[in-house]
């Protein structure tokens, strides 16, 4: 049992430990910002990510079926939230990393890839095949294969993405399962709405 005299001492120790972590974070960010200015900003890889960030939403807006935009966006919202959370976990756990980033302040670090290469194509797959689950499964399987075994290696080849302990074969079922789960969630929402 903690006595009343020990409580302030424990609070002080916790505060010191937290202050040390904040200081380490500051030092890390200072180093990272310096790295970003020297090795990211205005490089060809950086420009690819900037262009991807700008063009992806424009392409989506042109291609999206405006009559079903709410349902398609709902699917994208669920997929995007899950992808961004998983991306944050993976990069913070240092199982993969991003040597090139649009901004040192943007988290997850490869937001342009998450949105432009992963999310928007899955939204377009949902738009095209969302009403037919079997076709949706096959299209999602094909897109998941492309993302894991073509897009990720290309990003790694250009030093935009780096696997540390991760392997792209792990990504394949995750892309696919996320698509199926998001399809199911949207399907359930539509059933609730029709009641």
Q: How many structural domains compose the chain? A: 2
Summarize pLDDT for 120-172 with one digit per residue, the tens: 999 999 999 999 999 999 999 999 999 999 999 999 999 989 999 999 999 99
Q: Are residues 12 and 84 in the same domain?
A: no
| Residues shown for the chain | 195
Q: Give me the helices (H) in the chain, please.
A: 6-39, 44-63, 69-92, 111-113, 120-129, 133-146, 152-157, 168-194
Summarize pLDDT for 24-68 with one digit per residue, the tens: 889 989 999 999 999 999 999 999 999 988 999 999 999 999 999
Q: Are residues 118 and 145 in the same domain?
A: yes
Q: Are residues 32 and 47 in the same domain?
A: no
DSSP assignment string, 81-106: HHHHHHHHHHHHTTSEE-SS-S-TT-
For residue 3, pLDDT beyond 70: no
For the ranges 9-23, 49-63, 106-120, 170-184, the lowest mean pLDDT is seen at 9-23
Q: Are residues 181 and 87 in the same domain?
A: yes
What is the distance between the alpha carbons of residues 85 and 98, in angstroms, rounded to a whole number?
16
The domain in which residue 82 lies consists of: 42-194
Give 187: exposed, middle or buried? Use CB within 10 Å, 0-12, 13-18, 19+. middle
- Name the residue among 49, 50, 45, 52 with its Cα closest to residue 159: 45
Distance, C-alpha 44 to centroid of its chain: 22
The residues with which 192 forms a beta bridge, in sequence order, are none
Q: Are residues 93 and 143 in the same domain?
A: yes
């Amino acid at each position: 049992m903690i006595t009343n005299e020990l409580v302030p001492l424990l609070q002080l120790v916790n505060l010191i430990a937290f202050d040390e972590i904040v200081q380490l974070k500051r030092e890390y960010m200072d180093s990272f910002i310096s790295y970003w200015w020297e090795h990211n900003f205005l490089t060809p890889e950086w420009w690819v990510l900037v262009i991807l960030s700008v063009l992806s939403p424009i392409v989506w807006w042109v291609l999206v079926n405006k009559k079903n935009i709410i349902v398609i966006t709902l699917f994208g919202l669920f997929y995007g939230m899950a992808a961004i959370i998983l991306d944050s976990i993976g990069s913070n756990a240092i199982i993969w990393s991003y040597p090139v980033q649009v901004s040192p302040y943007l988290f997850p670090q490869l937001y342009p890839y998450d949105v432009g290469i992963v999310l928007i194509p899955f939204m377009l797959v949902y738009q095209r095949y969302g009403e037919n689950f079997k076709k949706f499964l096959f299209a999602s399987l094909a897109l998941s294969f492309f993302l894991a075994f073509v897009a990720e290696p290309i990003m790694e080849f250009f030093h935009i993405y780096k696997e540390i302990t991760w392997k792209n074969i792990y990504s394949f079922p995750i892309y696919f399962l996320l698509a199926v789960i998001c399809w199911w969630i949207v399907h359930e929402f539509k059933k609730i709405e029709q009641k």
